Structure 1
Amino acid sequence: MWPSRTRTETVTCLACGTERPREEAREYDKHGDRWDRDDKTFEHLCKPCHSDLCHHPRDELEALLVDLEAGERERDAFLASYLSTVEERYGTLEEES
């Protein structure tokens, strides 16, 4: 049986840390496949943080972050490694005019 839709569930935004009622948040699936719900636990973003996200495809991003040990290394070392790896794999980063 489906859980009651009238209950108020509170979730925490993974970006800003605010607690919000579930209906004021968006599901976030770090694997980019929020429709496949088997054995998944979703994180949440509040609507303002969700709106601030870049909604472009992020193919290979999660694997790249894991490969580069994101969150496990010093910030400056991680960023240098990230920029170097992205340029190596995808070419020079240039801003569009």
Structure 2
Amino acid sequence: MFGSRNARERSVTCIACGDSVARSDAREYDKHGDRWDRRDKEFEHLCKPCFADLCRQPREGLETTLDAAGAGEADRETFLRRFRELSEGDSSVE
């Protein structure tokens, strides 16, 4: 019904570094952005180190930065400009 356990242990190739790793040591990547619709789909894979490097964004201080950039108050253009400047470390935001 769900396939054999051995199918999960096959080797896959990381699309970022090219290393071959056990499927259990990789993360699925769906280039179409719909990983929940699994019918007739083959996934690409990232090894766990590449996944951590490429897919995780730092969130520390995010709420403070959003507030300082005027989230929910400033118009879109102003907010995006301020957010970019704050995120890049340019503290000379108006």
Partner Cα distance (2:32, 2:88) in 1: 28
Gaps of 5+ in 1: 57-89
- Tell me the TM-score normalised to structure 1 length: 0.55
Counterpart of 1:10 in structure 2 is: 11
After superposition, the Cα gap between the structure-2 partners of 1:10 and 1:54, relative to the gap in structure 1 and judged at 3 Å, is closer
Gaps of 5+ in 2: 58-79, 90-94
Counterpart of 2:36 in structure 1 is: 35
Amino acid at match of 2:21: R
Percentage identity across paired residues of the two chains: 60
TM-aligned CA deviation for residue 26 of structure 1: 0.4
**Bigger CA radius of gyration:** 2
Give me the CA root mean square deviation. Answer: 2.3
**Equivalent residues, number:** 64
Partner Cα distance (1:49, 1:38) in 2: 26
- Tell me the TM-score normalised to structure 2 length: 0.56
Structure 1 or 2: larger helix share? 2
